[in-house]
Structure 1
Amino acid sequence: MATARIIKDDALLRKDRYKRADEARAVLTREIHNLGSTVDIELRDRITNIHSNANALDKQSQQLRNKTNQLAKTTKQWGSMADNARGKLKEIGDIQNWAEMIEHDLMVIEETLRIVHDEDDYGAHTASSSTTL
């Protein structure tokens, strides 16, 4: 009977070990599943955030390209305006130079006329003084 009892106790112990192993396996499976779900939720949130940020970056990148193109056009227009203004200033400089040359010529003519007029006055004055003598 002792042998039967030992066999029976051993069977009970083995059954208990199997039961505890099955329970531990079930707990481990449940914990792994929970961990996977938690990690999956975190990863899904991160992936959603990454996609959202990527879309925002694409939109900002497009806006930056548009603004850069607008700036290039504006810069080109300003360059044209600056070249035009430089040409106008050159023309003004040319006109000023021309006006100064005309002014100088007029001063020469004025001085020449004054000399001629003074000589006429001197000649008339000399002629009238010689007739009175």
Structure 2
Amino acid sequence: MLCKDATTAASELNDTLTNTINERISEVFVKQKEIEQESRKLSNQTSRYAKQTKQWIQTIDSFNSALKELGDVQNWAEVMESDMRGVMATLELVHKGTLEETTPPTSRA
């Protein structure tokens, strides 16, 4: 009888330990699945952020190029303005010289 009781107790202990271990293993698998899902989400978000960052960098590069072009246009306009002032000054001198040649000298008596 003791042998039968010992065998039954050992079997019950074995079942209890097996159930406990199986529950914990099941929890580990559930946690592993959750971690894998979160890892995929994180990977997707990282990929989206990398693409967005690349777009921002391209936008900033385009903006910098546009600013450089504006600076070039401003410089060109300043050079043109300076040249036009020189042309205007020359034309004024030519015009004054032409007026002085066509105006009769005033006689002083």
What TM-score results when the alignment is normalised by the length of structure 2? 0.78
* 35, 45, 50: which one aligns with 1:72: 50
* 19, 38, 43: which one aligns with 2:21: 43
RMSD, aligned CA: 2.5
CA offsets, 1:25-82, max 9 Å, x none? 2332222222212211211111111111111112112112211221222122122212
Counterpart-to-counterpart distance in 2, 1:96 and 1:55: 61
Q: Does 1:101 align with 2:79?
A: yes
Match of 2:108 in 1: 132
Q: Please, which runs of 5 or more residues in structure 1 have no aligned partner?
A: 1-21
Q: How does 1:1-133 map to 2 (within 5 A)?
A: 22-23=1-2, 25-116=3-94, 127-128=105-106, 131-133=107-109
Counterpart-to-counterpart distance in 1, 2:50 and 2:18: 47
Which residue identity lines up with residue 41 of structure 2 in the other structure?
Answer: Q
Q: Identity, % of aligned pairs? A: 29
Q: Return the structure number with greater helix share.
A: 1
What TM-score results when the alignment is normalised by the length of structure 1? 0.66
Which residue identity lines up with residue 59 of structure 2 in the other structure?
Answer: M
Query: Post-superposition, which runs of at least 4 consecutive aligned residues in structure 1 deviate over 6 A?
Result: 120-126
39 and 126 in structure 1: CA distance in 2 versus 1, 3 angstrom threshold: farther
Counterpart-to-counterpart distance in 1, 2:13 and 2:104: 131
Q: Please, which runs of 5 or more residues in structure 2 have no aligned partner?
A: none
CA offsets, 1:71-128, max 9 Å, x none? 2221221222122112211110110110110121122233334545565677789933
